[in-house]
Amino acid sequence: MKNIDSKGHVRGESIYLDDIPMRVGTLYGDIYDAPCAHGKIKSVDYSEAEQFPGVVKILTHQDVSGENQIGGIFPDEPLFAEDEIHFWGMPIALIIAETEYIARQARKLIKIDIEKLPAIVDPKEAKAKGSLIFPPRTFKLGDVEAAWEGCDYVFEGSADSGGQEHLYIETQGAYAYLMENGNVRIASSTQGPTAVQRTVAKVLGVPMHKVEVDVTRLGGGFGGKEDQATAWGVMAALATTALKRPVKIALHRMDDMRMTGKRHPYRSDFKIGLNKDLKITAYEVTFYQNAGAAADLSPAVMERTLFHATNSYYIPNVTATAYSCRTHLPPNTAFRGFGGPQGMFVMESAIAKAARELGVEPHEIQQRNLLKDGDEFPYGQIVDHAEALSTWENAVDKFKLQSLRQEVDDFNSHNKHLKKGIAMQPVCFGISFTNTPMNNARALVHIYSDGSVGVSTGAVEMGQGVNTKMLQVAASTFSIDPAKVKLETTNTTRVANTSPSAASSTADLNGKALQIACDKLLERLKETAAKVLKSEVTYILLQDDQVYCEGKPTELSWEQLVQAAFLDRVCLTENGHYATPVIHFDKAKEKGHPFAYHVYGTAILVVTVDCIRGTYVFDAVKLVHDFGKSMNEHIDLGQIEGGLVQGIGWMTMEDLQYNDEGKLLSNALSTYKVPDIYSVPKEIIVEALETEGHEMAILKSKAVGEPPLMYGLGAYFAIQDAIRAYNPDYQMKFDAPFTPEKVLNGLYEKSNVSVPGV
């Protein structure tokens, strides 16, 4: 089954927000945002901008009819700044004009008088000043304090990881227009149509039923549109309601980069204890999450950091504490992996540090501590269906780790200024929203009287191929040609109260709901078939395209069956509701069974570092991944490759730079480097682990969205391995991203290494 969007994408026919034909009278909105990170607004002068020809209105917090509040988890985020500025890029006003160009010209004429206040950009500084988003949380297993005594080795260190720009190709935006009776309809580039609907209702001060949100597809989300697509949808809805004309907002790239939050940067301190046999017996870690200026999804992201603090390893004594620190950066938000990668980076750093100190290879420690069935995660869930060892052993055997290592060593002994490095990267990722109530979905299925099928779910297509998977679920349940099934847009009037498309769970949750709806319809159709075939009832049947005849059939085509059911007045519409069974979590005890299942895998990464330039090329990434029984190998492979490269980008080249005043310096693609076709690994081999799949996964095909990003963690450690081959004096640091500048410093730190002639 090919991705149903391939042809449309290649031909440029797929509809994104910017492809929606404009209604007559459409106005354009542009955002006036804060020109500093922290301060008090003394006055804003809009007079010149308001008089600019073509400007229709400038909206501020004073024009909000309901609440000026868009915070999802906590109400701490105003839609428009009132008296205070909390981050550089915080929206202050919305300029509505006849054209986008005019709105942008007028923006330059707004004058503001601010009393600037000092900005905090570092999470540890925020913590020291008591600036937390909410109280810290601690996950505990065993007793670390008691365990240190018994450890043969104990090492301490710190590990920091940077943020990451989502860089969805389609920037944030929305298009809103009025229906009758003041009802508003919003086409939104959002992963969370219900979040937009709920927030529009709150800001306008109207019930949710007056707000309809419709999503055809997104040009990428990666978490950046789970919560942060909302503001623009709300602004468009507010303006269209105020002005009674359609209003479109589509952010320019640099505005998007400046105003929106990113992956959370983290700073962390760790302490790891091991025994002589390289078993990790104790691990203590403290995370300082840079939440930015408002909660957004930070509490949930922080929670997932704690869930994944020990990655694929069983450690009997663990204390993991996390602080969500309020700083003056734009509110950081969901990003593929959702805090998990940040937690796992510290674990891997601790292992790398211990390995270095003990003179062993990190993979010797990694391998001895992999999870097995019956082990306990620090959050109380007992490991079952563990594939940590099986993916590891498969990777070691299939890709011949020993000979890869040998090749790297041989290369290094024959090359002076090029050095190769190698790293193993196991991954274990929990599938389910960590917030248990969010694990539900619905689907609405119509079988039309001609046998064609229309499917609506809460799933948002953002390039991940979920619509194709939904179509497969319907077609396979009905045993019909996939061409008979159409996926409708994601719309809050057809499927309500949805969780965002996120947490790698979209296909599982919506697919299971769809399966339930299809199964109910199938049962009904079977009853009709039994009646017809037993000749209890005779119907006029549709045969051979449009020919009607009467008779006693001995077999029924799908179309005949549907027609017969229709004539027998059987309901051909059904709704399915799915809520993940089994899962639960007790936040008071920090124990439970939060995940439906885990996804596992192991990657081997090989890199070549140019020791004169500090640049690097990934020669190969070879991995064994636990797909379960993949329902669509093309789509799943695409997710693995994309996730891997995104993870490598985060670990190596994507370098978000803010100055001390909280201004984003890497604010365009000229200063913020993302992986391109030249920087993807030269060779990517993905082997599927052979398993029976998991019952909790849709068609036993495991979630595949986020887990592969974390293979990219190995990029950091492979580069470190190469640097060590060049510079034995290199002091290990854990400070991602490992940019070429940092690599160069690592290669030449310590004065006793001669710098090659330039």
Active site residues: 706
Closest to ligand MOS by CB, 225 or 484: 225
264 binds, among ligand LUZ, ligand MOS, none (CB under 5 to 8 A by kind): none
Instruction: Tell me how crowded residue 752 is: count the other CB atoms within 10 A of its CB.
Output: 7
Tokens 């995940």 correspond to: 595
Residue with tokens 């090989």: 606
Instruction: Find, among 538, 726, 567, 702, the residue nearest to 632 by Cα.
Output: 702
> Segment 433-492, which members bind ligand LUZ (CB under 6 A)?
433-435
Which residue, judged by CB position, is nearest to ligand MOS in the bound state? Answer: 223
Among 334, 542, 645, 653, binds ligand MOS (CB under 6 A): 334
- AA identity, residue 448: Y
Among 37, 334, 418, 596, binds ligand LUZ (CB under 6 A): 334
363 binds, among ligand MOS, ligand LUZ, none (CB under 5 to 8 A by kind): none
Q: Which is nearer to ligand LUZ, 304 or 328 (CB)?
A: 304
Site for ligand LUZ in 296-315 (CB under 6 A): 297, 300, 304
Query: Helices H, strands E: what count in the chain?
Result: 19, 28
Buried b (16+ CB within 10 A) or exposed e, 517-538: bbeebbebbeebbebbeeeeee
d(CA 198, CA 217) in angstroms, rounded, equals 20
Binding mask 73-112 for ligand MOS (x = CB under 6 A): ----------------------------------------
Question: Which positions from 694 to 713 touch ligand MOS by CB under 6 A, shown as an x/- string?
Answer: ------------x-------
Q: Which is nearer to ligand LUZ, 304 or 494 (CB)?
A: 304
CA distances (Å), origin 7, targets 4, 20, 559, 636, 646: 7, 19, 27, 18, 25
Task: Please tell me whether residue 503 binds ligand MOS under the rule CB under 6 A.
Answer: yes
Q: C-beta of 277: minimal distance to ligand MOS in Å?
A: 37
Q: What type of residue sits at position 43?
A: S
Return the number of other C-beta atoms located less than 10 Å from residue 336's C-beta. Answer: 26
Which C-beta is closer to ligand MOS: that of 559 or that of 636?
636
Handedness of CA 590, 594, 598, 602 (dihedral sign): negative
Helices (H), 288-400: 298-307, 340-358, 362-368, 388-398
What binding mask, one character per residue, do residues 192-231 give for ligand MOS by CB under 6 A, x or -?
A: -------------------------------x--x-----
User: Which among ligand LUZ, ligand MOS, none contacts residue 435 (Cβ within 5 to 8 A by kind)?
Assistant: ligand LUZ
CB of 442 to ligand LUZ, least distance (A): 18
Q: How many residues bind ligand MOS (CB under 6 A)?
A: 10
Please spell the DSSP secondary structure of 1-33, one letter per residue.
Answer: ---TTHHHHHHT-S--GGGSPPPTT-EEEEEEE
Which tokens in the block code for residue 605? 């990464």
Q: Quick one: which segment of 242-250, 317-325, 428-436, 719-727 binds ligand LUZ (CB under 6 A)?
A: 428-436
Q: How many angstroms from the chain centroid is the CA of residue 9? A: 22
Size of the site for ligand LUZ (CB under 6 A): 11
Q: Which is nearer to ligand LUZ, 298 or 632 (CB)?
A: 298
| Site stretch for ligand MOS (CB under 6 A), options 142-150, 314-322, 335-343, 345-353 | 335-343
Q: What is the CA radius of gyration of the chain?
A: 28
Binding site for ligand LUZ (CB under 6 A): 226, 297, 300, 304, 334, 338, 433-435, 502-503
